[in-house]
Structure 1
């Protein structure tokens, strides 16, 4: 692999946007893995804080900027020939993508790895979803393809870190139940670390993949009753799945202060799960990395503390638990 890697990535920094995510997030993990490979990394962050300091301590060149700021993007992109573009759910996603693409083309970027979404495989000029984010992703892919940039699209399915941990940990911790509005639909969640490993493979050797689109899933596609069994095995206690109505769940998200754009996106994801639209499987993670994707059971076992209530000491006063949506709000 080392002899086949894109030569210029050894001489010029690889740009990683969204690098200041939580520990385990895609951008941050991509940065860590590239540095472990001895690559020069330019990590783009929105502001200086403990996370940017941690990136510097890892050995990354940290630059601050906003994806919507033209001047900042020139400063960030100049001198890089390979870049990873990823952005969290936002109503400004399309504008940010176009801004980054225009600057990348101006500076002659030779590989633009774009983080997209797998639902786009079911969309077209005549078929869409109710999610405003899905629509922005679809338009962004169209624009990138028209741009003439050397693009590689990555389309992961639902992430384990979201619905399967952030939105489930408290109900599992308190009630031994996964409470999600997925009905009996099947799903194939993928771990962020697997997505990050794919990104790294493409960044260090992009040329064979230019113009291609890859779909990233976990190792199984099954319903939530099956996954409750996987939680049970990992946590060594009985966990069940409790289907809940989408409407009240959506209202709870709004009550917690999540942006309407995000809530509409999450609600559509729930509706699509109920309709069986997340019953997807792909071998691309294994084909690109040579490693099998992380299973739900292994993911839950690795993060068991998030799903297990701590035992208060005799003198400790119990505190009210924060909900999954509170945690999501804080993380964002």
Structure 2
């Protein structure tokens, strides 16, 4: 009997990309979404309304589902509690295997503060009784151009390196795992790009391949906090943003892996590929 797959995050880039690949291959899907009215119809897919924090609605939305792709929730002050609620709902609904989009180097003491959220989520999945697979992607390559504000990438990253991964490669890797989930049970895949670059090198590449001139400005933690005050974000979010750069400086994001190529059969995209429109 064919296993039923649910894909969350359908209205986003990663979940939507995975769902479209699988639907194009004739795989019937369940798509749990927050706002069904925003979900474009997909052949063979059933849209069901829920949010991660609503356990009752999530149990109902996941009825009959065997395999679940759980795309991590949007950043919030207590994202771990939201994740735990959804994992508990999945277990109650009878889901057998959860594929979770985690983060490279997830650890309880990760310099990247959001990486700690992912570690605690992984631990809850390990103790849930369900099979699990972790897709530990690095920062998204697609977000690198957006690091520049008014032509400057600012942060305490120093000369640390970043092996950022394209969202398209995360999508392809996720689809590959869901085609044969049993082969990946109990495994964590590190998803990185083909190179690790400094933010100064990224700025130079952006200057070369886009209409904008970009430079990198190293900052102290205090300077980084002050330069982000205009956004009006809560303290926890500002600290999470800054910890991205701190983690780069400490070498936590320069790890290289061949897991993308092994899973997808193709080399991952680099920054030049992405800026040139490849993908």
Compute the TM-score of the two structures, normalised by the length of structure 1.
0.75
Q: Could you tell me how far apart the structure 2 residues matched to 1:197 and 1:296 are? A: 17
Cα distance per residue 1:156-207 (max 9 Å; x no partner): 1111233x02222x534xxxx5445422111111111111111111112100
Task: Give the corresponding residue for 2:8.
Answer: 17
Greater helix percent: which structure?
1
**Structure 1 residue 254: Cα displacement:** 4.3
Contact 2:111–2:246 (Cα < 8 Å) also in 1: no
Structure with bigger gyration radius: 1
Q: Could you tell me how far apart the structure 1 residues matched to 2:254 and 2:190 are? A: 13
Q: Could you tell me how far apart the structure 2 residues matched to 1:203 and 1:300 are? A: 29
Q: Could you tell me how far apart the structure 2 residues matched to 1:178 and 1:196 are? A: 27
**Structure 1 residue 73: Cα displacement:** 0.6
- Number of positions where the alignment pairs a residue of Structure 1 with one of Structure 2: 277
Residue segments in structure 1 that go unaligned for 5+ positions in a row:
1-6, 304-332
SS in 1 for 2:246: helix
Distance 1:154 1:266, change over 3 A: same
Compute the TM-score of the two structures, normalised by the length of structure 2.
0.88
Task: Give the corresponding residue for 1:28.
Answer: 16
Task: Give the corresponding residue for 2:51.
Answer: 66
SS in 1 for 2:251: coil
Q: Could you tell me how far apart the structure 2 residues matched to 1:257 and 1:46 are? A: 26
Report the aligned-residue RMSD. 2.4
Distance 1:192 1:184, change over 3 A: same
Task: Give the corresponding residue for 1:142.
Answer: 123
1:43 and 2:31 equivalent? yes
Residue segments in structure 2 that go unaligned for 5+ positions in a row:
none
Task: Give the corresponding residue for 2:277.
Answer: 302
Aligned mate of 2:150, from 144, 165, 171: 171
Q: Could you tell me how far apart the structure 2 residues matched to 1:244 and 1:171 are? A: 16
**Structure 1 residue 133: Cα displacement:** 2.8
Greater strand percent: which structure?
2
